[in-house]
Amino acid sequence: MDKAFQQRRALLKALAALGAFGAVSAMMPAAARGATASVAPGHLGRVQGGRPRDVVFDAHIRKDTFQLGDRSGSAYSVNHVIPSPLIELWEGHTARLRVHNHLDQPTSLHWHGLLLPFQMDGVPGVAFEGVAPNTTFEAHFPVRQTGTYWYHSHSGMQEQKGLIGPLVVHPAGPDPYSADRDFVIVLNDWTFEDPHRIMAKLKAQSDYYNLDERTVGDFFDDVATKGWSTTLEERRMWGEMRMTPRDIADVTAMTYDYLLNGHASASPWEGLFAPGETVRLRFINASAMTYFNIRIPGLAMTVIEADGQPVSPVETDEFQIAVAETFDVLITPDARPYTLMCESMDRTGFAAGTLTPRLGARAPVPALRPPPRRTMADMNMAGMDMGDMDMDGAAMSGHDMAGKSLSEKSMSGKNAPSESHASSGHAMAGHGSMAHGAHDGRDKHSGESGHDGHAMAAGHGSESPGDIRVPATMDNRLDEPGTGLEGLDHRVLRYSELRRPVPIEDQRAPSRTIELHLTGNMTRYMWSFDGVAYSDSTPIDLVYGERVRLVLVNNTMMEHPIHLHGMFMALENDQGAHLPLKHTISVRPAARVSLLITADEPGRWAFHCHLLYHMDMGMFRVVRVLDKESAHA
């Protein structure tokens, strides 16, 4: 299997270098272009717009067949379309979204990023009971926002098998960034494997899909450049962290095909434009597990929206998009074709599309760049003194040798909030996984102290869902370009550059701080908040109307895209009153991120890592927004 995958990757590189992926005609049959057999290709792409109006949309969910080239497999479709069709709504009008379940199992659709009553949010066990077979559920709500969003199943692992789709909300008035052409670009990772089988493989061997692990030859190369002592010490420390420098992605092109608007790169999606036009591209990362690095060789991009919310224009040449994020960009292409290059962060594969002034004209597809490597500096472990190591060689669990909690110690990092009422976040081992939104309705969470929701330590777990290996120091890392994008000779977008054009509405200082640690054990493939799996957790309670600071501390050696349903989070990135609003924030390894939340949407909301297999293994919480009487009952 290893040899076959390596041969496949070498072939992809060779073809990409020759630009061979542009040679397939746009007139190929639907089956060869990555569409369902029952639907003509090209259903995704152009945003239509039109007259502002109320919208009624009927989503008929069925089991269908998805075909790529000569391979086919079962998938989940909306109206026989994979990915699901574009839904367009209008600010100030109403949406009536009806979900019809034609499956023999429960299903759901979550309207990712939309502001709506929590009962309509589409998360089984949190917001409602789910949509049973042969029944219909209706989400009916006023549209209160604008921007680029998406929707997906929150049942089982159906989103991994195609149940994803784009959603665009048009402004009530003129669009400040009107464009001559408007395209949605939906990225996802497709597999013909059963997602539950993928999970079983990860549980049995967490690096099962990683064919880039270190070898004996790599060890001696390191010895030659660094010496025996340094090499052995670094290997020991990585071992204690249950990671290697080549653990970039849990699931790779060994099983994934990376798709752009449902098309594989061998028969790319095409977006037509006329020379001189301004083109808007709405990038949506609807993947289960894959971060993408996006660039258009030879063409600058101007970022105008992040997660559906406006940002002051930022010109860049490349950006990294986390799972569940969206970015809108404007481009002005010349009279020639361009490649949309969407390279997976681990660089085992890519999705590619074409922007072209005439059908069939293609630009060269760049070769895959060398895979990135994590370093001790990336982990903020380079300066760790051996006095900070316990007898097993791991970082002391939450405390340095002076007895000061590492959570408290790390508050001195850049942009850290001035107060912290939370402890180190180490909790007793919690066991069990969640069923992707399935929940028995009980409120279980051992990461907060009673009514105030502050994270508490309940002991030091060992080999638990949060087998925490705490880095020596933590910064917010908001001014870094993303894993693998350091040191490039072109501009790369950073979170620190995002700035809301107008001040955020709520300028109050937060009344309290909630600190949550992102915890996990890569070896046993267990993921959690504060070392507590979802099945053992109780809700995080907020009081309606209060302003809170949420601090996320990543104790793991991987990125986690953290998504809050129902409300936006203001990212504290040194932009004063102009903090950008996000519904999903990517927290880098060994980083702490500070966010401000106004609890203005009552109800029960999901809060989780949007890496599907991490969420399914327990990195999930419920946030309850309660009235004052209920909060203090």
The tens digit of pLDDT for each residue in 332-376 reads: 999 999 999 999 999 999 999 999 999 999 999 999 999 998 866
∠ CA(583), CA(281), CA(71), 5° rounding? 90
**Confidence bin at 379 (pLDDT 50/70/90):** low
- Is 320 part of a structural domain of the chain? no
Convert the pLDDT of each residue in 407-422 to its tens digit: 333 333 333 333 333 3
Q: Which residue has the higher pLDDT, 439 or 631?
A: 631
pLDDT for the residue 212: 61
Across 603-632, average pLDDT: 93
Is pLDDT of 451 > 50? no
Is pLDDT of 431 > 70? no
**Confidence bin at 1 (pLDDT 50/70/90):** very low
- Tell me the Ramachandran region of residue 295: left when phi exceeds 0, alpha when psi lies from -120 to 50, beta otherwise: beta
Convert the pLDDT of each residue in 94-136 to its tens digit: 999 999 999 999 999 999 999 999 999 999 999 999 999 999 9
pTM higher than the cut 0.85: no
CATH of residue 111? 2.60.40.420
pLDDT for the residue 224: 59
Q: Which residue has the higher pLDDT, 141 or 239?
A: 141
pLDDT for the residue 374: 81
Could you give the CA distance from residue 160 to residue 286 in angstroms, rounded to a whole number?
A: 9
Convert the pLDDT of each residue in 240-295 to its tens digit: 555 666 789 999 999 999 999 999 999 999 999 999 999 999 999 999 999 999 99
**Confidence bin at 472 (pLDDT 50/70/90):** low
Is pLDDT of 73 > 90? yes
pLDDT for the residue 552: 98
- Is 238 part of a structural domain of the chain? no
Distance of CA 256 to the CA centre of its chain: 16
125 CB contacts (<8 Å, ≥6 apart)?
A: 437, 438, 439, 440, 441
Domain boundary among 122, 147, 176: 176
Q: Which residue has the higher pLDDT, 386 or 535?
A: 535
Q: Is 573 helix (H, G, I), strand (E, B) or coil?
A: coil
Nearest of 126, 84, 121, 96 to residue 284 by alpha carbon: 84
pLDDT for the residue 42: 47
Nearest of 162, 266, 256 to residue 210 by alpha carbon: 256
Convert the pLDDT of each residue in 503-555 to its tens digit: 999 999 999 999 999 999 888 899 999 999 999 999 999 999 999 999 999 99
Question: Percent of the chain having pLDDT more than 70?
Answer: 72
Could you give the CA distance from residue 106 to residue 233 in angstroms, rounded to a whole number?
A: 51
- Is 336 part of a structural domain of the chain? no
Sheet hosting strand 279-285, strand order edge to edge: 256-260, 181-191, 279-285, 326-331, 301-306, 309-316
Convert the pLDDT of each residue in 184-215 to its tens digit: 999 999 999 999 999 999 999 988 998 765 44
Domain limits at 530? Answer: 386-631
Is pLDDT of 392 > 90? no
Could you give the CA distance from residue 431 to residue 499 in angstroms, rounded to a whole number?
A: 40
Question: Percent of the chain having pLDDT more than 90?
Answer: 67
Could you give the CA distance from residue 578 to residue 572 in angstroms, rounded to a whole number?
A: 9
pLDDT for the residue 393: 28
pLDDT for the residue 389: 28
- Cα dihedral value 206, 208, 209, 211, nearest 10: 120
- Is 23 part of a structural domain of the chain? no
Domain boundary among 126, 155, 176: 176
Cα dihedral across residues 384, 389, 392, 398: positive or negative = negative
**Confidence bin at 44 (pLDDT 50/70/90):** confident
pLDDT for the residue 373: 84
Domain boundary among 161, 176, 191: 176
Could you give the CA distance from residue 139 to residue 108 in angstroms, rounded to a whole number?
A: 11
Across 315-337, average pLDDT: 98
- Is 393 part of a structural domain of the chain? yes
* Domain total in the chain: 2
Is pLDDT of 383 > 50? no
pLDDT for the residue 297: 98
- Is 337 part of a structural domain of the chain? no
Tell me the one-letter amino acid at 252.
T
Provide the mean pLDDT of the chain: 80
Tokens coding 521: 């054990």
Is pLDDT of 168 > 90? yes
pLDDT for the residue 628: 78
Across 448-460, average pLDDT: 33
Across 28-35, average pLDDT: 33
**Confidence bin at 40 (pLDDT 50/70/90):** very low
pLDDT for the residue 523: 84
End-to-end CA distance of the chain: 58
